[in-house]
Chains A and B, each alone.
Chain A
Amino acid sequence: MGALATGHGEVVFNTSMTGYQEVLTDPSYAGQLVTLTYPLVGNYGINPQDFESAKIRVAGLIVREHCDRPSHGQSDRTLDEYLKAQNIPGICGVDTRAITRRLRQHGVMMGLLTTESPEAAVAQLAEMPRYDDQDLVRTVTTEAQYRWDGEPVTLEALPLTASGNISRPTLVVGSPGENSGETQEPRPRILVTDVGVKYNILRLLQERGCEVIAMPAATSAEDMLAMNPSGILLSPGPGDPQLLDYVVDNVRQVLGRVPVMGICLGHQLVARALGGQTYKLPFGHRGGNHPVQDMSSGRVYITAQNHGFAVDPDTLPAGLEVSHINLNDGTVEGTRHRDMPLFTIQYHSEASPGPRDNEYIFDQFLGMVKEFNH
């Protein structure tokens, strides 16, 4: 299955039973070989609607069985064709449950998808860079800022930049609300710091009447503030937040001055910006069934998750409080600032894939934006 290429990365597992297309294109999986625990993959093919970024981001895909005759009205190609077209390797027919059990017992580890002998592969693997040492955000962030006006009809038709991202004309931005007509309230302008953004975050903000502008990860705080944003959303993304001081420094400068929401890596960046620490989980949380409790209401939400690092609650600075915890292992799933217009979540309110129970978080963010800018 997939291209006859070598795939190298951290081997992780995801327990979602649907949504392989979204997983493949989720930038947070950059540098990882993803094992899907559900054994039958590719059943509904690949369709033009369910991309979460411009291309496949995983380093390789590991499945028990892939479907070469998909059945779905929207499908326009098979999983195998999609992988091959983008030169991404895959492997099928392997005991994915055995792999998952090993990862659970020993933690995630580096792996290689190869056609060479095991001995050669082991030697090669020792030479390869380790996941934890790589700044993967640089490989997935947009090169230039762009306004989200809905996704392009055919992604393939758009030219790709050297880093593989969609090349769009650089955006010149006026003041918020310019295009919204005179009679309407000005649309809130939300800057999305793209450290690996998923389209569905942009879609959900746009659906809620926002002007949505995606920004390169390294955009300076000065440049962001100069755009007069109503709010800033720090996106999810791949890799260890410890390697991202060039983003964290800018995040620190906007906190308190603009309403900020952080998702996943964005949540970890906020914690680090305020002096908190992050650490690596043994095998991460990847799936669509994680129970998260809102500490203030006691309510439990089923969430989509995809993270290998977590915020250490003992290192949180004064003012930043734990707002959500994971009921499986007690790890931090969200924080809220007592004084600043700032909250973060470790899970994915944008789902895609996963349960849509948490889209209300975007409404909370926009409520905070409205209140702050009032």
Chain B
Amino acid sequence: WKKYWLLAPAPSSSARPPSLTTREPKACKALREEGVSVVLVNSNPATIMTDTDIADHVYIEPLTVEVIERIIAKERPQGILPTLGGQTGLNMAVALSDAGVLDRYNVRLLGTPLETIRKAEDREFFRNFLHDIGEPEPPNRTVNSMEEALAYREEMGLPLVVRPAYTLGGTGGGIANTQGEFEATVASGLASSPISQVLLERSLVGWKEIEYEVIRDGDDNCITVCNMENLDPMGAHTGDSIVVAPSQTLTDKEYQMLRSASLKIIRGLGIEGGCNIQMAEPDSPYYVIEVNPRVSRSSALASKATGYPIARVSAKIAVGKRLHEIPNAVTGKTGAAFEPALDYCVVKIPRWPFDKFPNGDRQITTQMKATGEVMAIDRSFEAALQKAIRSLEIEGMATDGHGEGPDTRNLMEPNDLRLWALMAALRRNTPPEELMGKTFIDPWFISAMQRIVNMERRLLGETLTPDLLYRAKRLGFSDRQVGTLADMLPEQVRNLRHDWNLRPVYKMVDTCAAEFEAVTPYYYSTYEEENEALPLPGKKAIVIGSGPIRIGQGIEFDYCSVHAAWALSQAGVSSVMINSNPETVSTDFDTSDRLYFEPLDEEAVRDIIDNETVDDVPPPSVVQFGGQTAINLSQGPGPRRSAYPGLQRRCH
């Protein structure tokens, strides 16, 4: 037998998102299927992966070279797989190699070559690499004096990014928008650089940011899992951006141009496994801005957005499998060598902690501030966006308010309230063009927001008819939003909706846009004709998940929800999971017998209970594991409580 060792990362933090912890369990399972013994090291007890049944041996230890060397000496693994543990995993692999540990114990590094790990963080290497393979990087010049700097400014114009050479964390640098700023920043940059050198780079703030998730196997076969378009243009950290999958505003030529570039990069880096590539595009040409030579934050999102199990496939590739030899667990028939075709739109919105820190600096920059994220799926962008907003579980922040909303003066600056400020501005009849000019958000997205506002106006002014309500539901309006606008209680809207026979249907996430029959029970709601999620037969129970990671409600509740689902299955009861958080194990399609990727609000949960109801008997719900989210759902006041006894019941 072979023994591989999965290097797992440290506790969750903003820089080390919990999304990464969702991947190791899948990787462990994938490796063990290949007959590999897995030893896992992690210092975080609040994760599924440190359960004893995930790996063969689990060490809950600090991730230091000394500790890990001792474990290696004891376990004598043949290989080490660091690419699934985020940057911590990669850094540890480099440290172990530098300390001679890998050589001493003859441990092979799997996935990404050491050279690539070492150098991907090195801007100079990255520049040279891009140059060698003929991929464009943002225009830049290294200058040693103010005269040279001024000459470059004449050539390029402003804004320019100033990066002093050899300073920690870019001290003395910054973005210069005006002549005065430029001279001051260059002067301080030259002064703070030990070799009096600064790099001037064209600022891409305001450009379109597109990401590709790509996978390569040892035979040089490459595929792209999906691409994603950031609604927030360049300047906001992608973890703090609203992200849409697939891209919405690229022509096929542009889509394929960036796809080809991504494949060229992963081939050039020699990665075996997953990789994330970020690019900026105005219309064309484009610039490559970042490469993560490993499974990244965006990979978890891409996996959940497409149904394609990136971590699982990456782990299998690491132990020598080729893409077409790995079965596609979704269809059960086709292989992993294909590119998912989506027939829906996915929206991710970050969950920021400013509800707990109202006086915190809400400005969004290149350093990530979100603690978690939500994802929503629907057949239109508007509906996916509105469902994602519902999923955030931030009271009073839904787009249903017709009030003034936050100040629009700071729209240009990305912050956690920008989406609401945009909606408020549209309600005040600010021309969309003006908002596009201020924010650089693609007009396509602003137009969609305008359609939401137009529907708000219709709901305010017109008598509710079945047709109007159906249109509103197709744009993602919740019963509560409709009620606020049409002057009704949410419960009245719900009853009206049922009188008019307007109920959501559930469609499957199947990686192939229905081209092949799929076996995964992964669903989302939409208002359309055909319902694919017929009620599960037999004994079943609904497990209500814990939603986005936030202060006070971390990944530990997801751990609990997953165990609830497993316990149900073991007891012969089908488990039906509901959750809205892509960074979780509970939203893996093989954790439960059926997964609904839906907001955790009353409307969505009750609709699912209705959909799972057989012979007027609603399935019982498990609410005690989903943190405050699930408990709150079971504690609805008045009509909600009596309207849905199913939510009150506990599973036996």
B266 within 8 Å of A by Cβ?
no
A171 to B220, CA, bound (A): 45
B347 within 8 Å of A by Cβ?
no
Q: Which residue of B lies closest to A38 (CB)?
A: B343
Given contacts A299-B219, A328-B338, contact A40 B345 (CB under 8 A): yes
B516 lies within 8 A of A104 (CB): yes
A17 lies within 8 A of B342 (CB): yes
Within 8 A of B (CB), among A334-374: 351-357
B380 lies within 8 A of A101 (CB): no
- In the bound complex, residues from chain A placing their C-beta under 8 Å from that of B334 are 291, 327-328
B114 within 8 Å of A by Cβ?
no
- In the bound complex, residues from chain A placing their C-beta under 8 Å from that of B323 are 300
A65 to B344, CA, bound (A): 11
Given contacts A15-B515, A291-B337, contact A50 B444 (CB under 8 A): no
A50 lies within 8 A of B515 (CB): no
A327 lies within 8 A of B447 (CB): no
Given contacts A65-B379, A73-B283, contact A101 B341 (CB under 8 A): no
Question: Binding site of A, secondary structure by majority: helix, strand, loop or mixed?
Answer: loop
Within 8 A of A (CB), among B501-548: 507, 512-517, 528-530, 532
Q: Which residue of A lies closest to B381 (CB)?
A: A40
How far, in Å, is A48 (CB) from chain B's closest CB? 12
Identify which of B98-106, B249-257, B292-300, B598-606 touches chain A: B249-257
A100 lies within 8 A of B513 (CB): yes
B118 within 8 Å of A by Cβ?
no
A19 lies within 8 A of B252 (CB): yes
Given A283-B515, A302-B338, A352-B252, 5 further pairs, Cβ under 8 A: A17-B341, A97-B528, A104-B516, A289-B340, A300-B324
A356 lies within 8 A of B338 (CB): no
B444 lies within 8 A of A67 (CB): yes
A47 within 8 Å of B by Cβ?
yes
How far, in Å, is A319 (CB) from chain B's closest CB? 28
Within 8 A of A (CB), among B598-644: none
| Chain A proximity mask over B277-295: 1 for CB below 8 Å, otherwise 0 | 0000001000000000000
A16 within 8 Å of B by Cβ?
yes
B313 within 8 Å of A by Cβ?
no
Question: Binding site of B, secondary structure by majority: helix, strand, loop or mixed?
Answer: loop
How far, in Å, is B300 (CB) from chain A's closest CB? 21
Ranked nearest first, the 7 interchain pairs of A and B with the lowest CB-CB distance are A19-B252, A98-B530, A71-B444, A37-B513, A353-B252, A15-B341, A95-B529
Q: Which residue of A lies closest to B344 (CB)?
A: A39
Query: What are 30 A-B pairs at a CB distance below 8 A?
Result: A13-B514, A17-B342, A18-B247, A18-B250, A18-B251, A18-B252, A18-B255, A37-B341, A40-B248, A40-B345, A40-B380, A43-B248, A44-B249, A47-B251, A65-B380, A69-B444, A71-B249, A71-B443, A72-B283, A74-B251, A95-B528, A291-B334, A291-B335, A299-B221, A302-B337, A327-B338, A353-B252, A355-B339, A356-B259, A356-B260
Q: Name A residues whose Cβ lies closer than 8 Å to a Cβ of B.
A: 13, 15-19, 21-22, 37-40, 43-44, 47, 49-50, 64-65, 67, 69-74, 94-98, 100-101, 104, 283, 287-291, 293, 298-300, 302, 327-328, 351-357
Q: Which residue of B lies closest to A46 (CB)?
A: B251
Q: Name B residues whose Cβ lies closer than 8 Å to a Cβ of A.
A: 219-221, 223, 246-253, 255-256, 259-260, 263, 283, 322-324, 333-335, 337-345, 379-381, 442-444, 447, 507, 512-517, 528-530, 532
A21 to B263, CA, bound (A): 25
How far, in Å, is B29 (CB) from chain A's closest CB? 24
How far, in Å, is A39 (CB) from chain B's closest CB? 5
- In the bound complex, residues from chain A placing their C-beta under 8 Å from that of B442 are 71
A74 to B259, CA, bound (A): 20
A38 lies within 8 A of B342 (CB): yes
B337 lies within 8 A of A327 (CB): yes
- In the bound complex, residues from chain A placing their C-beta under 8 Å from that of B259 are 355-356
A127 to B305, CA, bound (A): 44
How far, in Å, is B504 (CB) from chain A's closest CB? 13
Which listed residue (B444, B513, B532) contacts A15, Cβ 8 A?
B513
B246 lies within 8 A of A17 (CB): yes
Q: Which residue of B lies closest to A47 (CB)?
A: B251
How far, in Å, is B252 (CB) from chain A's closest CB? 3
A21 to B517, CA, bound (A): 28
A302 lies within 8 A of B529 (CB): no
A15 lies within 8 A of B252 (CB): no
Q: Which residue of B lies closest to A39 (CB)?
A: B379
